[in-house]
Chains A and B, each alone.
Chain A
Amino acid sequence: MALKFRGVDFIEFDTLLTDDERLVRDTARRFIEDNLIPIIEECNRAGRFPRELVKPMADLGFFGASLKGYGCAGMSNVEYGLVTQELERGDSGVRSFVSVQSALVMYPIYAFGSDEQKQTWLPAMQKGEKLGCFGLTEPDFGSNPGGMRTRARKSGNEYVLNGEKMWITSGSIADVAVIWAKTEDAKDANDGSSIRGFLVETDRPGFRAEDIHGKWSLRASVTSSLSLQDVRIPASNLLPKSGGLKSPLMCLNQARYGIAWGAIGAAMACYDCALQYSLFRKQFHNEPIASRQLVQEKLAWMISEVTKAQLLVLQVGRLKDQEKVKHQHISMAKRNNVWMALECARMSRDILGANGVADEYPIFRHMANLESVKTYEGTHDIHTLIIGQSVTGIDAF
């Protein structure tokens, strides 16, 4: 039995939003309800990315929504966050696709690219005509990307790239990959200062993308491994303003911020489903399970955590709009909100009993998705260390 999502707002959170912010949220919500909800369980079962939604999402302005110019909508950070919330209310995989396209590919081109790179890629990516992926993680370097082995060697007017990238969202459907590699002036294996970003068209000889199969998570999004063997690119494909590990981390900050909103969407979907279910599911004395204290405790916990998460990320968003946000603020929002969403998914699964394990309801899918979300863009524990570093001044990595 499909339960229609009714929105979640316990403390009149909506009154903290402007008319435009609500309109953006409602538009994204309606789009997802009309276009993604009817097909998502099928996509998840089949492990299929709903590519047919790329164009409609582009038409609405979802790609690069917070960038200015190049056909982008120039949304505020709060508006952008509300879009990712609604996307992830639908599915974390589809939200991941949008995050990668926007925050991890369009953003670095926008922030570190030359005018020519911006003109070539941004309008086409905004329209969804070109798709992108972001290659930072390697088989042996996840949380510690500074140790990466991928190398870019200058050869005349070209760079020659060699290396392996792993767990790359949209890898095999991308037209362009933002590849992070060390240049030959790297002093030693742990020197992150020589890391630069390169735009690699995926049809270049020596570039191969292979999908990772057998995922239990983010099944509606493509995840690939990339192999670069003597891939030659013009020197003009270097992102000129990228320099050092802080460049990819700046991209991750954009994406993590969107994830902090997105996780709320997944949590809302689970909570609302569990609430509705608990009101009609009857056990013992023909009474709904919602009338039992143990069930109410779970519902009360979830709505409290969702509400706190909303307030946290809204404040971080407002700081970001005022250009006052610090990376540790975003770490706190990502860490807290994904954790709370995963806990909500597990509790909601519990409330649905056996029905919670089938894909007639969205909960298990969200739960499985959130396991990836907890790990990518800085694991939960890595964000703990970032917050710890920020309050103590001591690096504990």
Chain B
Amino acid sequence: MKILVCVKQVPQKDAPLKLNESGTWIREDVSYEVNEPDAFALEEALRQKEKHGGEVVAITAGPARAQQVLREALAKGADRAIHLEDPGFVGLDAFNTARAFAAAIKDEKFDLIFTGLQSDDYGFAQTGVILADLMGWPHATIIMQIEKSDGGIKVKRELEAGYFQFVEMPLPAVLTIQSGINKLRYATLIGIKQAKNKPLRKVTLAEVQSAIGANLQKIERMYIPQKTKKTEYLEGSPGEIAKKLVDKLRNEIRVL
């Protein structure tokens, strides 16, 4: 199986974030890491390859710094990588990102495309789904398990309240992968060395420009939530405190 895995570089989960000057996104000077569900998607792709053979290709869209996530994917065992490299890719909405990916892989023939369920920064959970539509392929989301079947795959989806759904689908297909479905491997030191010699294709913004349009979705404003709640200490004798509390519960919060 030939599997493409979409990997995004996102701000580190516990990094302290600062807003940019226009208050529309965060500042660039923050530590980055691989989007968590994408790491599981890559791991799943590598496991599928180990079972069934084939090829794993990692793709990302982002500035030069985003190459780090591809290096990591190559070090863990991906065979090659594609980097849509431009700072402009950071601001694309999910529709445009999917269109850019589709344009970048138009000459390739994949059996499967994996994305993470969603990104830890924007949290759209849309890129994979839209990509499937652009490719004209079926898709399934929140994937917990993948098995090859005759002529296609059988996947397990996670639904609400502990329910699972099993879906059979033909190939090619797009799957968005849930975090925690496997145990992540570490990049080995040898792997990191070998990654240097693996092919990494760069795609410029100009090459895919004709495929993308104006963003349909735009971040208007980002801000740190204002503290609106305040702790109030009721004082007095226990009797007085109880009286005040009942009064508040009845007249202010209206739960009594």
Residues of A within 8 A of B (CB): 4, 6-7, 19-20, 22-24, 27, 30-31, 59-62, 65, 71, 73-75, 79, 83
Contacts and interface: CB of A to CB of B under 8 A. Distances in A.
Specify the main secondary structure of chain B where it touches its partner. helix
B189 A79 contact: yes
A23 B196 contact: no
B246 interface: no
A27 B186 contact: yes
Interface of B: 14, 31, 67-68, 71-72, 75, 186-190, 192-193, 195-196
A73 B14 contact: no
Interface centre among A27, A30, A79 (most CB of B within 10 A): A27
Contacts, number: 48
A238 to B, nearest CB: 31
A19 B66 CA distance: 10
Main SS class of interface, A: helix
Given A62-B189, A73-B189, 14 more contacts: A20-B192, A20-B196, A23-B68, A23-B75, A27-B187, A27-B189, A27-B192, A60-B186, A60-B188, A61-B188, A73-B188, A73-B190, A73-B193, A74-B190
Top 8 closest pairs, chain A to chain B, by CB: A61-B189, A73-B189, A73-B190, A27-B187, A61-B188, A61-B190, A60-B188, A19-B68
Contacts of B193: 20, 73-75
A267 B84 CA distance: 39
A66 B31 CA distance: 27
A193 to B, nearest CB: 37
A65 B192 CA distance: 12
Contacts of A59: 188
A75 B188 contact: no
A61 B186 CA distance: 11
A75 B189 contact: yes
A247 B68 CA distance: 40
A24 B192 CA distance: 7
A102 to B, nearest CB: 12
Contact of B189 (A4, A6, A24, A30): A24
A60 B75 CA distance: 11
A4 B190 CA distance: 28
16 contacts: A19-B68, A20-B192, A20-B193, A20-B196, A23-B72, A23-B75, A24-B189, A24-B192, A27-B186, A59-B188, A61-B190, A73-B190, A73-B193, A74-B190, A75-B189, A83-B189
The CB with the most chain B CB atoms within 10 A, among A23, A30, A59, is that of A23
Nearest to A6: B14
Contact of A20 (B71, B186, B188): B71
Nearest to B72: A23
A62 to B, nearest CB: 7
